Amino acid sequence: MNNIMELKCSAVSSNESFARVTVAAFVSQLDPTVDELNEIKTVVSEAVTNAVIHGYKDKEDGFVFIRVELDEERIHLMIQDEGIGMDDVHEARQPMYTSKPEMERSGMGFTIMENFMDEVDISSSPLMGTTVKMTKRLSQRKALCN
C-alpha cells in the first residue's frame, strides 16, 4: 500500500518554505539521498511559487493543494491551484519564459522541475487553474557490508 499525504495552504509566499519542508519531512521516510531530497524541495518550491505568483497573481484568497504519494521507490507529487490558469502550457514550459517580466522572474521554474524529476506533466485551463504532476524514482542504494 502506498503512503499518501495531502496539504492545503493559503496561496501566500510565506507558505512556500512550509510546503517544501513538510514535503521533505514526509519524503524522508524513503531515505532519499541528500541530493534527491534537495531536488524534491526545489521542485516543490518552484511549483508553489508559480501557483502563488502566477496562478493567483499575488491575491491571498486562494489555496495551493499538495499531494504526495510514496511507493517503494518513487515519489509522486501533485501541486495544484485554482487560479487563472494558462492559455499555452507549451509556451510556459520554454526556458526563460515568464508572465511576470516586471518582477524580474527568471522563467526557469518548469525547466528546473523537468531537470530534477523523471516525469513532469502540466495541465492548465484558463480561469480553472493549473496542476503540476511530477514523479521521481529514487536511486537504488546497495546495503553496506560490515
Q: Which pLDDT tens digit goes with each residue over 53-91?
A: 888 986 778 999 999 999 988 999 999 999 998 876 666
Give the cell for residue 97.
519564459
Share of the chain above pLDDT 90, in %: 62
Annotation marks residue 146 as catalytic: no
Per annotation, catalytic residue among 105, 114, 137, 141: 105
Per annotation, catalytic residue among 36, 39, 46, 82: 46
Annotation marks residue 105 as catalytic: yes
**Alpha-carbon distances of 17 from 21, 63, 88, 124, rounded to whole Å:** 6, 15, 28, 24
Tens digits of per-residue pLDDT, 121-134? Answer: 999 999 899 999 99
Contacts of 47 (CB under 8 A, 6+ apart): 77, 79, 109, 113, 132, 134
**Residue in this structure with the C-alpha cell 489555496, named with its chain if needed:** 63
Give me the domains of the chain, ranges plus CATH numbers: 3-137 (3.30.565.10)
Strands 63-70 and 129-137: unpaired
Annotation marks residue 67 as catalytic: no
pLDDT band at 99 (very low <50, low <70, confident <90, very high): low
